[in-house]
Structure 1
């Protein structure tokens, strides 16, 4: 059976995507070739998923129909320097999940290849991810269909213009960390009010999960749901007033903007 999916980089996000692809039946182990420099990590991936493993990026690129780049942005140049791009009748589709790396850099490294820039997030590990994709100049409609099918295995997919990918990174890419901080703070508030830690955390997690599901299912604007919960002179409006006093919304907005700006910085060439 031929290799259909190649992955350069066998880290946490690569594994998350891989496991969901297998769960959805899109690929079988023998159809996947993973290039990973760490021998222990290669052994783990091979034993856990029955995939083919190697430390040869070159072999991975030329053996596959789709190549997922799942390395750290800082090592992209080193990886590209080690690749010799052969002329082929059908170039593999390149899917890059490198935060902050623009299509211009990716297409310079893979000239004539169809390249899609992808920004997934960590909830992809449980099939609840949010992924944005931006197609390069060589991408055709069937490439986008394939890219969508791969990332729909880990959650929702939205196509955005390349110029919005850093904003996506700041919001949905970094957002899980911001939400986790809020969950922790809600739990701390429960403990401060007398709840046992385990119960406080369970209440906080389910409240955030349920609220997100309610907004999504009912198609409500967040302000509508907030107004439904805040009764005149009640407990919720008292809490909302305190959040406003502390600058809660402003802090979240600035956090997303800071993550966006850092994504922009990561995408700049090293000599800038």
Structure 2
């Protein structure tokens, strides 16, 4: 099933949904930058230093966000970058709150005694540098752990367990003492020495339905009366065609001949065999 391409309206909605968070974040950063800059100037910092102080919160937040994305891809712990992000947000929020509470003069500039703000602003730059540096050290340590981690060979296939196949039970019926006829004793023919069955074209077509005994009797009925083979050889040939042992085939054929021939003829046939 092919996936339909998004329409122009859907594409515009996706772009707008991806751009809005960035635009909102840029606006919030701009407002926070202006308030921190104003507070740093009020605390006695020169303008170039106040610009650096005002940019520390935004820089820390961006660095922490990138580190969180990188660690999440590696499924590593996120405690350190989240702590740095919280510190940046607390600093920015405190500066914004202070500028809204400090009184202003007629021109809109902050007035009054700065109090503890000059040492706080001065030491904050060092704290921000230490927090960002800790993120870089965490990155180096994570890369070293990844290099020292053992490599797992995923191409190695698991060993297959060898299971012995069950030996199929013999499908030949158990010998019946009642089917034993007056046949001459014949040496048992090994299964490997059993003659190959005739080709299908050499014999009449036979549907492989019913039991082995029924197929054996059906094949025996198709044998010509003047067939030169001895009864033991004929039984061996027919047994190979139906998947039966020669001895069982001879007993079945002998029982069939006794049921269809007179007793005297059966005795002569047995003596001739």
TM-score, L = length of structure 1: 0.23
Instruction: Say which structure is richer in strand.
Output: 1
Instruction: Say which structure is richer in helix.
Output: 2
Select the structure of larger CA radius of gyration.
Answer: 2
TM-score, L = length of structure 2: 0.23
